[in-house]
Each structure stands twice: as C-alpha cells, then as structure tokens.
Structure 1
Amino acid sequence: MTQDVRRPAAHGDRDLPAGRRGRKAPRKRRTGRIVLLVLLVLVLAAGGGLYWMYASIDGNIKAVDITKELGDDRPAKVPTTGQNLLVLGSDSRAGANAALDGAAVSGARSDTALVVHIPEGRTRAVAVSIPRDTLVTRPECTRKGGGTAPSAQRVMFNSVYSQYGPACVVKTVEKMSGVRLDHYMEIDFAGFKDLVDAIGGVTVDVERPIKDTHSGLDLAAGPQRLDGTQSLAFVRTRYGVGDGSDLGRIGNQQKFLTALLTEVKRQDLLGSPAKTYEIADSATKALTTDAELASLTALGDYARSLNGVDPANMETIMLPVAYDKKDPNRVVAHEPAAKQLWTAIREDTDIPESAKKSPATGG
C-alpha cells in the first residue's frame, strides 16, 4: 500500500481498493454458490413446474448475442458433458444504483465475476472468483461504437466490461484461462430491489452497526429485516463498512445473497402461483443472458440439467493473485498456482490445494 490511511474512496478513484494489503480473505468463498443458485434456482426453480405458465415474462430477459464477436479463435470445447458458465454481478451506476452515489458517477462495472465450472456428471460445481482489480491482457475486442480495439496489456479486469461490453469480457476470460465458456449470465444488483419487495423483505444479520450518510442507510448490529430500498443500499454501501474499501461491500453482497436465497427457500412459493409470478417477473427483469438461454423455456431446460448439483458440493475459489510489483493497488495472477487452477478446470480434474493459495489474501 502507498499509505496506511483509512478513507472513503473519492468518485474519481472508486476502483482503488484502499486498505487491502494485510487483510486476509477466506480462501474458499461461497459467493459462487449463492450467485449461481440465485440465477439458476431463484429465477427458475422458484416457480418450479409452473415456469412454463409465464410466457408473458419471457420479454423481461435481456439477451446479448456474443457469438459473432467471439469468432472462431477460442479455446477448444472439451468433449464432455461438463459446463462452464461466466456469471457477472453488475452495477449499472444508473437508476437506483446511481442514487446511492449521489448520481455523481455513470457507466457500468462488473463488480462480481465468477467462472462456474460444472464437471461431467453435474453433481457438484466450482466457481472461480476473479478479483475486479486484477491486471490482465485484454485481447482485440469490438468497440461499442463499431470498429476494433487492439489487444492491450496490464488492463484492469473490471474496466473491460464498462469499455467494451460482455463479449469482450468473455474473450478476456477465455484468453487468460484457456477455458471455453458455454454460457454467459449477468444480474444487475439494482434489480434486487423489486425482487426483495416481492418476497416481503429479507432478514440479514448485521455484524457491526452501519451508518452511511451517502445512502442514508442506518442499521444497528444484529438481525435486521430489510425492504427493497434498504437491501439495495446494503449491497451497495462501502462508506459505512470497515475502512471504506470494496472488501466490506463484497462481504455485504455475499451475506445478502445468502439471506435472499434462504428467504426464498423458506417460503412456499409453489403454494402461491401469484407470488411466484411476481418474484419471477422481478428476477428476470434483472437478468441478462447469452442469446441461447434468453427464454424461460431455455433457462428452465438448463436449470433442470443442473438439478443434480448439490449445494453442499459447491465451492468458490478465488483466482490465486499477488500484489503487482509496480502498482500495489492492483493484483496479478499468481503463478504457477493460477495455471494449475485453469488446467484442472479445462481437464475436468480435481483442483490441487496448491492452486488455491493466494499471496494477496495471506493464503
């Protein structure tokens, strides 16, 4: 770190993770399990066998046709029944999201990025979390306004989405990992607001009091029942948690998604078709997928193919990273651990313990 000073990040440097060094993060996170279940179970299985009744919400699901932009220069598809899915949790910095920042910022960021690997047999899953401030080599990508942008080195992973869109993120992940991605899913955090209200609120166990003057969020420690507006503030706040870095916000997002899934599983949604519809309607409005999955029928079929995945056998591993020698506010893939991790996923083999060690997290 350049300084050991605890301060909220200014709008101009909001991507600089203040106070990261010296903080230990759990080596095995559960974010992937929760995000995957929210997308594949909450959005679909919350309606159970009734999803086919709701053709009217098909139009809610936004589609991105990334196939043409990806072209033919991709990793070879492994001839197994395993699946690799890129899941992004996005923060559009617009609408409800922007309100939490005083509408002083714009654009979009992929705040959560997970490569979810479902091995052949589909009874377990592994999700590799890519830190947002990882420096990567971005391949040649299509510009949003047309034309192409040449390949660039030492690009912050989080910036690829905002500058070049989903297809470029997929290309970047495939380039850095050598893993062929079968599908793409994205969920906007702001979309959770209506979803939470449809459910009737979510109870979150707040470890420490939170008082964020930017969003107006004021929570005491202990179990708190949050409505949609409070939930959105909770997953977006950074100024009222810890040292004001993204680490506290990521922890809140993990906690919230866990609580959300628990609440959905607790309720008898099959016993209330009207409520099921309301929840599915809210959830799908926050969802973007590749063109192949952009319908309830396709999503339902895909979800059913994953029915054998036991949540108890799902694990998230952070990409092994080390602090960059030139810029201590950034991290780089730690070798040879990162290579071992991606090789295990490509070859559908068990991930060695050595591939789970990350100097940047003290592991």
Structure 2
Amino acid sequence: MTEVDPPNGDEPIVGDETLNELARLRPDPAPRRRRTWPQRLVLGLNVVVVIACLGAAIGVYYGNEKANDRRVVSIIGSEGGPKLTLPSTSAPVNEDESTISTEAPRPVDLTAKNFLITGSDNGACVDPDSPYAAAFGERSGLGERADTIMILRLDPATNTAAVLSFPRDMWVRIGGTKRMGRINSAFNADDPNPLILTIWDNFGILADHYVNIDFCAFKQIVDAVGGVRVPFATPVRDRSTNLLIEVAGCHTFDGEEGLAYVRSRYLKYFDPKKKEWVADPAADRGRISRQQDFLRRAIQKALDKGAGNPAVAKQLIDAGIQNVILDANLTTGKLMELASAMRDLDPATMRTYQIEGRGVDKSGQSVLEPLLRSDSMKAVLAVFQGKARLVDAPEQLFEAPTTDDAGTTAAPGTSATSAATVAPGTNASPAATVAPGTNASPATTVASSPAPVYVDENTYGILPPDDPACR
C-alpha cells in the first residue's frame, strides 16, 4: 500500500490496495456461470474504458507482444510518481473556506477508486474528406486539448459507478499555481499531474488512476462494436459539425458520425408544431449530458456485442494500445481484477453528475464559475471525495436560480432538465425531491418505463428519449 503526502500536513491519503486483497472483503457472491477469458477481457475493457470515455480500449493488451506498446505516465501518489504537495495559498475558488474540506479524502470503502478520464481532440484520425470534418475544425498548430474531463468512481464492493463531468470552460485556479484559467488549460495528455492537482485544489477530489482517450480510439471502438444506437423523437442537426439526423427513430452512429454527435455544442431539434428548428439552450452542458447518455449506450452495446466475441475483443484492445494513455499503476492484472470485481455492473444504474456553475465574463472570456454551496452539490462532491458511498449517491438538484453558459435559468427547486428546452418525447420528468442535507438512494430515480439504458434525470438540454428497443 502506498501513501502520498497530503496538503497542509494532514494524515496521509491511503493509496492503492491490490484489488485481489480487497475483493476478499466482499461477501461471497451467489454461484454463477464462469465467464471465458475473452468475456472477462471484454468486461475489463467495458468497465474501465467504455464507461470511462465513450468507449475506448485501455491498457489490456492482446498477447505478450503488445506489452511494450502501452503508453503510460506516472501520476501523483503512484510508485515512481511525484508526491502530492500543494502550495499553502491553495483555496477553493469562489467559496467559503468551509465549503470544501482540505482534509485528505477517506474512502468509506477502500475498494472504491477514482479514475480521471480525459478525451483529447487531436486530429490524427480525422479524414479531411469526411462529411463530419467540420466537427474537428482546423487542427494545425493547436496540439491536443481536453474535450472531455470527468471523474469515474467505481466501487467493486457494491458494483456501482458514478461519473462527475467538468465543463471544459469552468474557471478555476490552476493546481499548484496562483493562476486562474479554464480547467482544460491544465490538460497535458502526457503529464496529467497539473490537471489532477487542479481538480484536487478546487474540488477536493483525488484521482487514483488516469486514462486519456483520443479521437482515434473513440472512432475505432464505436466501429468495433458495430456502432452505437440512439433514439430520436424528432430530427436533429448541428450545422457546425454537419450532423444531420433527418428522421425520428433509432439511429446507428458509426465512429465518425458519433464523434460529430458527442462534440455537438449547437444542437437543434425540429419542432413539428412550430415547423422550425429549435436550439438547445444548454450549449456545452447539453453536450456533456449527451456524452453521458452515449456513454451508457456504448457500454451496453459493448457488453452485448463483445462479451462472447474474441474478434471484437481484439479490435477493442488493438485500438486501445495505440490511442490510449494510462497511468503506470493501471496494470493488466489490476484491470482484470477490476473486471472480475465489477462483473455485475448494470450500465443503466450508473449515476451521472456535472459541476454546477454560472456563466460569467472573465477578461473578455465567457466562462463558467463553479457553484459548490448547494446541499445537492456538496452531497455529490462527498461521494467523489470518498466521504459517502456510491450507494448513497444523490439525485443532483441544481442550485437555483442560476444562469448557465447559454443564459437559461432554472426555477427554484427544479433540476436543470426541467428548465431547458427538451425535444418532444424525451425523458424530462422532474428529479426526485431530496430534503436539504440528505442523500437520496439510487432507488429514488424514477423512469417512465424501465429500460436497459436510460437517461438520468439530473441532466441539461436536448436528450434522446428512453427507448429499450433501441440499443
């Protein structure tokens, strides 16, 4: 077991235990049919990868000849990595000192782990002749940027998972400095430590592992599983990415079109009553919600398609080897152990959250200022800080009235979904009511009809409807 130096001289943060050892703490599972090696392999990919960032294969390699091909980095607190030392000037941004505890996170269950997942928008796999090339813009001289930043928390003891997304325009103190900037300015695919420090410094959340997935991996994995199906209640489009779904119904995205969809910030749906296109007012937050929805669907498709198919497993692995960066401690053995421990995870139960914020202007830049004081946001942060179990993860009720980056305002006591424009037929029922200072269990999530993959209610913007037949 390793330790890292915490800020302000507090007790050390407990580092990685081997999952084999921790698995012994779990109750004996009910007897089950044993899965084959390829099935266990694909489950490992799905749990840590497809969950992690819209479906890329990470870190498990196909045969010993692949072992040296992995792209790995050392992260804070890992063996061979830097120690966690923060400057004494560090403080939560725009919050009282009491808002975020500076104590080291103390997980209720030591099997729970945080994975920092970043999706980088390099243009290496962009076909300039693709109809969706506009989704990626002119990339020359820009290098890589973090298009997606999220923390995935996995708890093998309870087979639960939750995702916390950080809008890339969120205005924060860059970790280890006194400089303020957008959170994605801390991103460096080959050195995740500035971003890890930034998330710790501003939100009190420490990453145990790191995974970066680029466009190439996304495209190849979506194609490897035969595409991802998404239902639409109406036609949708985004002219900035050339995305156009012309008819309502179940649509299958291939890798390139899927990228155009999950990157869409200016999505519109066709209102048949008004006979006009209506814009999603949630902008980047709507994009995050659609990414999270696509993520669930990708997990389910990978499980359905890949669990018994070694050829699909090999495609997933080959894509991950070249196009994924992970921390050096996320070894093949740990991934396989995690896959075994998380074998009963149901993608439909994965909880999704976003950091709350309000649109502000900083030196001429339109950014999001974090809002962390609401009871709901504090409860969500407590889960990812290790102070509450995933089984206690609450419904996220957004502090109101707040104005998001698109200028929409949520009414007091409602979720942001109910305040945003939602395409006809989508799942936009209000979030379950949670008394101030309490946590709602996952059982309080209400859906109009059970489905293998569903859109959680704590979301923003235009979202697909629940349709169990479209998977």
Normalising by structure 1, we get a TM-score of 0.70
- Per-residue deviation at 1:44? 6.9
- Per-residue deviation at 1:277? 0.9
The alignment status of 1:331 with 2:369, answered yes or no, reads yes
Q: Give the counterpart letter for 2:231 in structure 1.
A: D
Question: SS of the counterpart of 1:200?
Answer: coil
Deviations 1:69-120 (A, max 9, x none): 6424276363741333233242324223584334256233323322233458
Q: Flag the 1:342–1:219 CA change in 2: closer, same or farther, 3 A.
A: closer
Q: Flag the 1:201–1:128 CA change in 2: closer, same or farther, 3 A.
A: closer
- Per-residue deviation at 1:166? 1.4
1:216-235 mapped onto 2 (5 Å cutoff):
216-221=242-247, 222-235=249-262
- Per-residue deviation at 1:38? 0.9
- Per-residue deviation at 1:60? 4.8
CA distance in 2: counterparts of 1:283 and 1:163, whole angstroms: 15
Partners of 2:71 and 2:324 within 8 A in 1 = yes
CA distance in 2: counterparts of 1:62 and 1:163, whole angstroms: 11
- Per-residue deviation at 1:169? 0.7
The alignment status of 1:259 with 2:271, answered yes or no, reads no
The alignment status of 1:304 with 2:340, answered yes or no, reads yes
Q: Which residue does the alignment assign to 1:3? A: none
Q: Which residue does the alignment assign to 2:29? A: none
Instruction: Number of aligned residue pairs: give it.
Output: 313
Question: SS of the counterpart of 2:329?
Answer: helix
Q: Which residue does the alignment assign to 1:288? A: 325
Question: SS of the counterpart of 1:94?
Answer: coil
Q: Which residue does the alignment assign to 1:94? A: 123
Normalising by structure 2, we get a TM-score of 0.56
The alignment status of 1:279 with 2:316, answered yes or no, reads yes
Q: Flag the 1:127–1:40 CA change in 2: closer, same or farther, 3 A.
A: closer
- Per-residue deviation at 1:296? 3.0
Q: Which residue does the alignment assign to 1:144? A: none
Question: SS of the counterpart of 1:115?
Answer: strand
- Structure ID, larger Rg: 2
1:73-222 mapped onto 2 (5 Å cutoff):
73=85, 76=104, 78=106, 80-96=109-125, 99=133, 100-104=135-139, 106-119=142-155, 121-140=157-176, 150-153=177-180, 155-161=181-187, 165-212=191-238, 215-221=241-247, 222=249
Question: SS of the counterpart of 1:218?
Answer: strand
Q: Which residue does the alignment assign to 1:342? A: 381
- Per-residue deviation at 1:165? 4.3
Deviations 1:25-84 (A, max 9, x none): xxxxxxxxx985615796679xxxxx7763344445421212366424276363741333
Q: Flag the 1:123–1:110 CA change in 2: closer, same or farther, 3 A.
A: same
Q: Give the counterpart letter for 2:74 in structure 1.
A: D
In structure 1, the gaps of 5 or more residues are 1-33, 46-50, 141-149
- Per-residue deviation at 1:292? 0.6
Deviations 1:1-29 (A, max 9, x none): xxxxxxxxxxxxxxxxxxxxxxxxxxxxx
Q: Flag the 1:209–1:267 CA change in 2: closer, same or farther, 3 A.
A: same
Q: Flag the 1:160–1:283 CA change in 2: closer, same or farther, 3 A.
A: same
Q: Give the counterpart letter for 1:101 in structure 2.
A: F
Q: Which residue does the alignment assign to 2:19? A: none
- Per-residue deviation at 1:171? 0.8
In structure 2, the gaps of 5 or more residues are 1-45, 87-102, 269-278, 405-409, 416-471
Percent identity of paired positions between Structure 1 and Structure 2: 24
CA distance in 1: counterparts of 2:201 and 2:259, whole angstroms: 33
Deviations 1:176-214 (A, max 9, x none): 233332111222244221222222333232444345555
- Per-residue deviation at 1:159? 1.8
- Per-residue deviation at 1:287? 2.3
How much is the aligned-residue C-alpha RMSD, in angstroms?
3.8
CA distance in 1: counterparts of 2:166 and 2:48, whole angstroms: 15
CA distance in 2: counterparts of 1:277 and 1:65, whole angstroms: 26
The alignment status of 1:71 with 2:83, answered yes or no, reads yes
Q: Flag the 1:191–1:164 CA change in 2: closer, same or farther, 3 A.
A: closer
Question: SS of the counterpart of 2:210?
Answer: strand
Question: SS of the counterpart of 1:173?
Answer: helix
Question: SS of the counterpart of 2:207?
Answer: coil
Partners of 1:319 and 1:358 within 8 A in 2 = no
Question: SS of the counterpart of 1:330?
Answer: strand
Q: Flag the 1:180–1:285 CA change in 2: closer, same or farther, 3 A.
A: same
Q: Which has the higher contact order (CA 8 A, sep 6+)?
A: 1
Partners of 1:88 and 1:185 within 8 A in 2 = yes
